[in-house]
Structure 1
Amino acid sequence: MYVVSSGHQESVLSSLDLLKLQTEFLRGLEIKGKTFNTVKNYRTDLNIFNQYLEANGRSLMLTELTLQQVKEYSSHLEKKYNSPNSIRRRVQALRIFFDWLIERGLYQENPVKKALVSPKVVDPPRPLEFKNIFTLFNHLESLIENSQGLEKLIHMRNKIIFYLIYGSGLKVSDIEPLSESSIFPGSPGRVMVAHPKRDPYTIPLPPGFNQFYIEFKESLEEQKDKDKINFNNLLFNANPYKILKRGLSSRGIEVIFKELSKKLDMPFTAKSLRQSCIIKWLNKNESDSQVKEWMGVQPAYSLKAYKQYLEEEDHAKEFSEIGEKI
């Protein structure tokens, strides 16, 4: 293998088996507790690099990666993808992989760090209007009232997810690992988020959550006994006949909202619902520092786009009964 140092090439080790090392790298992410989707994204991004090498006649037994080659790869990504964030993510995945190689003593200097990466583009918020949130909430309640058994439990699960996103501002990736021990009933109740890059923190749960959670838990325990399955995860995956397994993936949560959006003929996603929660917090005059803490972002994070939305969109200032109900 050759590494680039001060413009010169210096022989250090034999060639690197990229596929083997990438497999070890991904396994290490799993051991560290990274989510399935996170590991999957790294695998996809590294595979794109592998495909680029092969398409350009280069072996996956890597002997050299120069800054110029990294720039050429970046140019290839710019031609292939329209989204600056997609390009940025793929280059960053490669950078993190080479950082891992350096930690293992297999590479001396990370050539990807010297490459210019497109700045992250922050899309303006597109929150769901409060009147549409009310429509969604009523629809979920109607589904629960007009069903029974496992079907009713599934609708109750979806309402729990709604509470966590709109009521407490959780991302789908925050919800995926939640267990029963993550919920602290009270007045107000709180949900604990275990963030991979910071200490765990709690967020208040909405007023309607506590009583509904008790009912959900009772129904869930009955169904678990019936299906002879046991787990501590807050959520579950099920078909119309039984609970299939514990937990619900981020992708699974997104699919639920995609189906609800289609059924109600009302465009929204889990992300837009969370953005509505942030607007709700600002509407209630929560301090910037408090909102950022609940969002799980750094103090330097800017809320400018949300405040601008609040100023420009008249409906954003509306605070209908759902604002207090949940």
Structure 2
Amino acid sequence: MKMLLDGRWVDRDEKIDVLDPFDNSVIDTVPKGTKVDVETALAAAAKGFEVTKRMTVYDRAQILYKAAGIISDNLEDYATVIAREGSKTINEARKEASRCVNTLTCSAEESKRILGETIPFDSFPGGEKRRGYYYRFPIGVVLAITPFNDPLNLVAHKLGPAIAAGNSVILKPATVTPLSAIKLVEALLEAGLPPMAIQVITGYGSEIGDPLVSDERVRMISFTGGVEAGKHIASIAGIKKIGMELGSNSPVIVWKDADLELAVESCVSGAFWAAGQNCIGVQRLLVHRDIYDEFKTKFVKRTKLYKIGDKLKEETDMGPMITETEAKRV
């Protein structure tokens, strides 16, 4: 697949292999973006904002509705890409694709509610018969940096609201799972999003991340990823808005009056969803001592029933971790 820069899909001689972590087979390749590509993306995004800020709310909403419809109509294709390039099973991937449809639809709805406010000023002497008001305006170029564990829906979480508010976007998808993100952008373009409204640059964060993050033309950064990467972004971003979703420890409390079967099923699913790499997955269990032994026995028994293997098989419960390095780390 290709990058989208300055309104055109472009390729590069240097490429990055996108691997299926189940067998390390090459699914596709993406261009290895450079600092020159970063400058192209930044300049094009600034020009694109001149287009997006003039789009009506109706037009923005219709684009998002139509993109949601395109994904809904081709749900299995999107789910297959999610499953192949990432850690999710096909059943998990279908749920993510469905969530993406919901995310875009919600973004379309919320585009109609970006409102201002009128405020009476008569709460102090001299303010009689005076009112203040404000409007909300698009902020400008939004840089979206997305993770591997939800390669479609978390991209929609960033692109949907940014487009709904009239901003232009530069998308830097996860290096190991860029294909789902690019397919989402294809759907947005098919739905009528102006090509200059979004730039997609693929490559290694260590090479193209810093010049994107630190550039003054970027007015907001939306990042999901690790804590250390988040700290680094905050340290070099300069004066701009930053929204981050970083690491979590996601505890679950199981009290003594809980429905034990439901609790076990939910905790096992939550712990091993996406091979345990879900940022809001179950990471700690706090179980009441009165039911601890019974819960532990049932939890272990249920876990042993999990089928591990080919992510595209309907019967598979859990796929591999995203890379061998991550598997060794755990």
Max Rg structure: 1
Q: Which interval holds the TM-score relative to the shorter structure? A: under 0.3
> Please, what TM-score do these two structures have when normalized by structure 2?
0.23
TM-score (norm 1): 0.23
Higher strand share: 2
